Amino acid sequence: MQSGSLFIISAPSGTGKTTILKKIVAAMDNVAFSVSHTTRAPRPVEQDGIDYFFIDKDNFARMQQQGLFLEWAEVHGNLYGTSSYAIQEATEQGRDLLLDIDVQGARQVKNKLGHTGVFVFIAPPSLEELARRLVGRSTESEDVITTRLKNAREEMKSLNQYDYVIVNDTVTEAVEVLKSIIIAERSRKRRSLSGVPLKLIS
Amino acid sequence: MQSGSLFIISAPSGTGKTTILKKIVAAMDNVAFSVSHTTRAPRPVEQDGIDYFFIDKDNFARMQQQGLFLEWAEVHGNLYGTSSYAIQEATEQGRDLLLDIDVQGARQVKNKLGHTGVFVFIAPPSLEELARRLVGRSTESEDVITTRLKNAREEMKSLNQYDYVIVNDTVTEAVEVLKSIIIAERSRKRRSLSGVPLKLIS
């Protein structure tokens, strides 16, 4: 069986990443979200092993010490991490995994994985359009929007870390492009050799 | 405007390459066949500049001497060549080009272009299946089929030259995968930066 790939996907806030990724997982076979470990308490609807692996701080610290995380971060006092083993297990079963992560996290993953991971950046058509979208949601204060635009401008500087850049003009097109990237990567030689009958390459 | 890419596509005889490529050109915008130069006389239906650029032997020799061919070959006493300039002009206009070429020709292109070209190999599901398909056509003698299978086995050894390997289980799936590869390559960073608004990456 052919191994799956790990797709590391970043986008500035407001670019529509979550919508795109959910549509991909719903539309494609053998594509799933990477499941993170967290020390945060589960919310009522969340299931262990599906939404997150819920562990306590001691166990998280032990995993950190043993170098078992591909990347980790602290957010609002809670720890989140991606276990190398969980990724390996899922991809070896032929599943493609989507790791939804910010630019800093992606950099940690890149340092560990190099070209083994597929790095995808989803960009807004322009910062002006991103501003319009953020204002359009009208759930955020002006300060929050200003901060997000400032962050977006910073994050754009990291484009060079990524293998692919998808400009999200429309969600439908962006989904189509990401789907194509996943299908294409399944045929990339370094990945696909295990899927080619051995008698063809011996 | 974003530049197009050159897709160099090889497959053993009988793998279904021509069918797949014609469907791609019919289905996708901005994808065309690369037009070769040849010293062969045009057939009644063939148009200069569309099917081939028809030139005489002196002009072909002059282009060869000036190093203007990305690759060239002699087939049944006629010369065929791919002009670097024609490729450059078409891709700069944003067109993706399909160069249908054998393994030896692909190697010449690879030596000149390196990672600028996208190398795709279309493989049969197995040599047994390829044999069945060649026999199924029943237009060829047993000797011809034996030779083609021997060539196919040789060509398979060059898989490592290629970026992508598409296994042609069904034409529909193979077309889908090649289409995905073309769409994905349009978003690859080295190619797509020219398509990303400059204000996003400055």
pLDDT tens-digit map of B11-36: 998 899 999 999 999 999 999 999 99
Selecting from B160, B181, B187 the residue whose C-beta is nearest the C-beta of A166 gives B187
Closest residue of chain B to A161, computed from CA coordinates: B189
Number of Cβ atoms within 10 Å of the Cβ of B71: 23
Angle subtended by helix axes A127-137 and A142-156, to nearest 10: 150
Instruction: Answer whether B192 sits within 8 Å of A164, measured CB to CB.
Output: yes
* Ranges of chain A with pLDDT below 50: 191-202
Q: Which two tokens stand for residue B100?
A: 């249908």
pLDDT tens digits, one per residue of B74-112: 998 999 999 999 999 999 999 999 999 999 999 999 999
- So what's the pLDDT on residue A190? 63
In a mutagenesis test of the B interface, which of A165, A168, A178, A185 is the best target, namely the one with the most B β-carbons within 10 Å?
A165
Q: How far is A136 from chain B (nearest CA, A)?
A: 20
Q: What is the DSSP letter of B73?
A: E
Instruction: Answer whether B167 sits within 8 Å of A195, measured CB to CB.
Output: yes
Assign residue A14 a region: left if phi > 0, alpha if psi is -120 to 50, beta otherwise?
A: left
> Taking 50 as the threshold, does the pLDDT of residue B193 lie above it?
no
Selecting from A156, A187, A201 the residue whose C-beta is nearest the C-beta of B177 gives A187
Which chain A residues touch B166 with a CB distance below 8 Å? 187
Band of the pLDDT at B46, cuts 50, 70, 90? very high
- So what's the pLDDT on residue B198? 40
Q: Which two tokens stand for residue B184?
A: 């994905």
Band of the pLDDT at B140, cuts 50, 70, 90? confident
> Taking 80 as the threshold, does the pLDDT of residue B132 lie above it?
yes
> Taking 50 as the threshold, does the pLDDT of residue B194 lie above it?
no
Selecting from A181, A196, A200 the residue whose C-beta is nearest the C-beta of B184 gives A181
Distance between CA A83 and CA A89 in Å, rounded? 10
Distance between CA B36 and CA A6 in Å, rounded? 40
- So what's the pLDDT on residue A12? 93
Distance between CA B5 and CA B96 in Å, rounded? 5
Ranges assigned E (strand) in A26-159: 31-33, 36-38, 52-54, 69-75, 78-83, 96-100, 118-123
Residue A15 half-sphere exposure, CB side, CA atoms within 13 Å? 30
Selecting from B164, B167, B200 the residue whose C-beta is nearest the C-beta of A156 gives B200
Closest residue of chain A to B157, computed from CA coordinates: A201
Which chain A residues touch B186 with a CB distance below 8 Å? 177
Total-model pTM: 0.89
Closest residue of chain A to B193, computed from CA coordinates: A165
In a mutagenesis test of the B interface, which of A115, A178, A189, A190 is the best target, namely the one with the most B β-carbons within 10 Å?
A189
CA geometry: angle at A33 spanning A192 and A109, to 5°?
Answer: 70
Q: How far is B161 from chain A (nearest CA, A)?
A: 9
- The fold of the B6-201 domain, in CATH, is Rossmann fold (3.40.50)
> What dihedral do alpha carbons A86, A89, A94, A96 form, nearest 10°?
10
pLDDT tens digits, one per residue of B59-70: 999 999 999 999
Higher per-residue confidence, A66 vs B133: A66
C-beta separation of A116 from A6 below 8 A: yes
Which chain B residues touch A176 with a CB distance below 8 Å? 183
Selecting from B123, B124, B184 the residue whose C-beta is nearest the C-beta of A164 gives B184
- So what's the pLDDT on residue B84? 94
Which chain A residues touch B126 with a CB distance below 8 Å? 197, 199-200
In a mutagenesis test of the A interface, which of B120, B188, B189 is the best target, namely the one with the most A β-carbons within 10 Å?
B189
Which chain B residues touch A167 with a CB distance below 8 Å? 192, 195-196
Band of the pLDDT at B190, cuts 50, 70, 90? low
Selecting from A176, A177, A187 the residue whose C-beta is nearest the C-beta of B164 gives A187
Domain-wise residue ranges, chain B: 6-201
- So what's the pLDDT on residue A134? 86
- So what's the pLDDT on residue A194? 45
**pLDDT > 70 fraction of chain A, expressed in percent and rounded:** 93
